[in-house]
Chains A and B, each alone.
Chain A
């Protein structure tokens, strides 16, 4: 920067500062409005109890979500265990009811296998040729 431009920069900045300060208006009017707005302000900083209530609500929400997830997992697990127990081969000394349940599940499995392996209908005469 040359001496000329340096002087110019300084004076331009001074002019800017002066113009900026002159553009500031109505400090008194603004103060009056601040006072009236402060008087009408219904804001209250949160008390310790409000903060505690908020934390408690958050804990309860998280707890409910965790319990819900655990419940779903538990039900699915119990169903799976029940199915596996039905299909387990009864041991010596098991009750008649357990043996009956095992046989029923075996029949169900056979029916299921037969149904799933059934071949589609084909024309017998055409296959001979």
Chain B
């Protein structure tokens, strides 16, 4: 099961890398469209991180404890909202602020919680790295 997860993460990473590295689809021709396409790729990965954090927080284990505590989930969701707003408002100029905010948000995640969210954290890292804002 752990191996399957690891391979899934690898495949996801490769798929994301290829998707972003290959650039925008040929049907997107204007500079604004290309910028929006890249920003939407980041917005989607950040949204997946947000959904994973919410799901982990709302899912309780046998003892009634959430998968990740509020102290981890709330700052992560606040980062995601802030990143989404930046991506929407400045699709051509999000890199510095989102990358810096992501570095800070990632540092604040306790290792045990980071392990539970490893796949989505990795996908945000991969997509940011692929567009030059990587860590």
A and B together in one complex: no
Residues of B bordering A, CB below 8 Å = none
State the A residues within 8 Å of B (CB): none
